[in-house]
């Protein structure tokens, strides 16, 4: 089971708040290519994206029927734009996926490889989300007279966010929260193809 928090963002020409947008100061830099940086942080530490059971606090709540829950959020930052062919394009895009230990948990005694693989799948969807958003933000364009570039940014992020939120729902529905072994393996195969760097089993500790 998973839930992702609303994205946070900070468009900077410069913008000075990660949520509320204040005065824009146009900050033009002439760079030949857009720089992209992706960070994955688990409990505040930058890691490769593989989860371990010791990342999850133990919690025994009879109100939940499932044995583990994962929550994450992602942030995006475009600190610089450049003027290219009379339009503004990002000079740098930074995306961060953050595992939320405070709201993720596992039921005591239920830690096993199959369930950890299932929770890893949820986190993999988070990784796919930020990768696609960063790709689209990199190609974002707007005119110098654009009055509301934030709306362009919001539209890109929301469209992709909706796509992967639906994937999250289908993942739990089709795998029955890891209990349907056949469908779980189909999803595992999908993740291996999409994220070959994470194809090994998640770490136990």
User: Rounded distance, CA 104 to CA 3, Å?
Assistant: 9
State residue 31's pLDDT score.
34
Tokens of 16: 């000075």
Q: DSSP characters for 41-98?
A: EETTEE--S---GGGSPB---TT-SSSEEEEEEEEEEEEEEEEETTEEEEEEEEEEEE
Which tens digit of pLDDT belongs to each residue from 140-172?
A: 888 888 888 888 888 998 999 999 999 999 999
Is it the case that residue 13 has pLDDT exceeding 80?
no
> Which stretches of the chain are assigned E, i.e. beta strand?
2-4, 8-11, 35-42, 45-46, 68-84, 87-99, 105-106
Q: How far is residue 144 CA from its own chain's centroid? A: 30
Is it the case that residue 16 has pLDDT exceeding 90?
no
> What residues does 42 pair with on adjacent strands?
45, 99
Domains in the chain: boundaries: 2-198
Which tens digit of pLDDT belongs to each residue from 87-142?
A: 888 888 889 999 999 999 999 999 999 999 999 999 999 999 999 999 999 888 88
Number of H helices, E strands in the chain: 3, 7
């Amino acid at each position: 089971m998973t839930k992702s928090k609303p994205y946070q963002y900070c468009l900077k020409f410069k913008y000075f708040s990660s949520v509320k947008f204040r005065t824009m100061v146009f900050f033009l830099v002439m760079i030949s290519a857009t720089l992209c940086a992706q960070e994955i942080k688990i409990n505040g530490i930058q890691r490769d994206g593989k989860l371990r059971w010791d990342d999850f606090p133990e919690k025994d709540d009879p109100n939940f029927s499932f044995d583990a829950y994962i929550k994450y959020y992602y942030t995006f930052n475009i600190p610089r734009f450049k003027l290219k062919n009379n339009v503004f394009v990002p000079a740098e895009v930074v995306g961060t996926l953050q595992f939320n230990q405070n709201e993720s948990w596992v039921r005591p005694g239920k830690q096993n490889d199959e369930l950890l693989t299932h929770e890893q799948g949820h986190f993999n969807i988070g990784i796919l989300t930020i990768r696609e958003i960063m790709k689209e933000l990199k190609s974002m364009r707007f005119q110098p007279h654009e009055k509301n570039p934030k709306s362009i940014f919001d539209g890109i992020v929301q469209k992709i966010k909706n796509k992967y939120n639906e994937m999250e729902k289908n993942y739990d529905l089709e795998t029955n929260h890891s209990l349907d072994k056949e469908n779980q393996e189909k999803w595992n195969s999908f993740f291996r193809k999409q994220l070959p760097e994470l194809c090994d089993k998640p770490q136990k500790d």
